[in-house]
Copies of this chain bind each other. A is one copy, B any other.
Amino acid sequence: MKIIRTVSGMQNIARAAHKNGKTIGLVPTMGALHAGHLSLVNRARKENDVVIVSIFVNPKQFGPNEDYLRYPRPLKKDSAACRKAGVDFIFNPSVKEMYPEGFLTWVKVEKLSDFFCGKHRPGHFRGVTTVVAKLFNITQPDRAYFGEKDFQQLTIVKKMASDLNFPVKIVPCPTLREKDGLAMSSRNSYLKPEERKAAKNIHLSLAGAKRKVKKKKTKSIEELLAELEKNLQSTPGLVNQYINIIKPKTLEEQKHHIQLPARIIYAGHLGKTRLIDNIEIK
């Protein structure tokens, strides 16, 4: 396994791989890898000749009052995990290598980027799509792996790749969870012990709402969301940011009567930590 720091170095490797008829799988990450990331790596390992994990804490997707500076950066531990998982290359550029002075270009997916997380984190998805477009051009992947935990991000990246004709298949991967149901996230490390304990209630509440829909025990979306909101709000320290039931393809909010397939999407703060989760209802 090699760690590559420069754009041109990575592009030369990708070009040579394609010339040799090899396929490339990319797992874009901000590092602080957990089992969720590694499940993406494992899948990439099975499906491609060359596996690249990018580790880059992308400043353009953080707001001014967010956790860019304190975001964890355990590169040694991440490298060891990647090596063990059979990764071929880690792409780990500096901020200056990715955004040289005078950088001016943005890739933006309209509409989809403006609601839910986009509404609460202005500019966030524009930062995501810009860095992902760059990573696609730098690593030239045949397949790129994204977790379903960031469901809106996954949908937006898919749309960007398809609208701009990137020759890459976006592969969605299921969310991995801790034993108590909490969705794995690098940000879980911020949680204080009592917050960590309370955090399980997010998934438990979403799963409860899902059960009700499956059992047709609920009459309307409004009713379901009101109950879910109350349930979540009873979690010590949790402040809801949004809860919605959406059509998974278009992210459109559903109203009144639920139509399947659907997803319940959630964001909230537990102390200073922002957590998101979602659940599929087929």
Q: How far is the CA of A159 from the CA of B102 in the complex (A)?
A: 10
Separation in Å of the A143 CB from the closest CB of chain B? 14
User: Which chain A residues (93-134) contact chain B, with CB distance < 8 Å?
Assistant: 103-112, 129-130, 133-134
A69 within 8 A of B: no
Which of chain B's residues have a CB closer than 8 A to the CB of A108?
A: 105-106, 108
Q: How far is the CA of A130 from the CA of B107 in the complex (A)?
A: 9
Q: Are B110 and A167 in contact (CB under 8 A)?
A: no
A11 within 8 A of B: yes
User: Which chain A residues (3-49) contact chain B, with CB distance < 8 Å?
Assistant: 7, 11, 15, 18-19, 21
**Contact for A107 among B103, B105, B112, CB less than 8 A:** B105
A140 within 8 A of B: yes
**Contact for A165 among B7, B163, B164, CB less than 8 A:** B7
Q: How far is the CA of A84 from the CA of B278 in the complex (A)?
A: 58
Which of chain B's residues have a CB closer than 8 A to the CB of A163?
A: 103-105, 134
Which of chain B's residues have a CB closer than 8 A to the CB of A107?
A: 105-107, 133, 164
A276 within 8 A of B: no
**Total identical chains:** 2
- Contact indicator per residue, chain A 149-174, by CB within 8 Å of chain B (1) or not (0): 00000000001100111110000000
Q: Are B11 and A165 in contact (CB under 8 A)?
A: yes
- Contact indicator per residue, chain A 166-184, by CB within 8 Å of chain B (1) or not (0): 1100000000000000000
Q: How far is the CA of A111 from the CA of B104 in the complex (A)?
A: 7
Which of chain B's residues have a CB closer than 8 A to the CB of A167?
A: 11, 15, 137, 140
**Contact for A110 among B104, B129, B140, CB less than 8 A:** B104
A138 within 8 A of B: yes
A-B contacts, 29 of them at CB < 8 A, read A7-B165, A11-B165, A11-B167, A18-B18, A18-B19, A19-B19, A19-B21, A104-B111, A104-B159, A105-B107, A105-B109, A105-B129, A105-B160, A106-B107, A106-B108, A106-B110, A107-B107, A107-B133, A107-B164, A108-B108, A133-B164, A134-B163, A134-B164, A134-B165, A137-B164, A137-B165, A137-B166, A138-B165, A140-B167
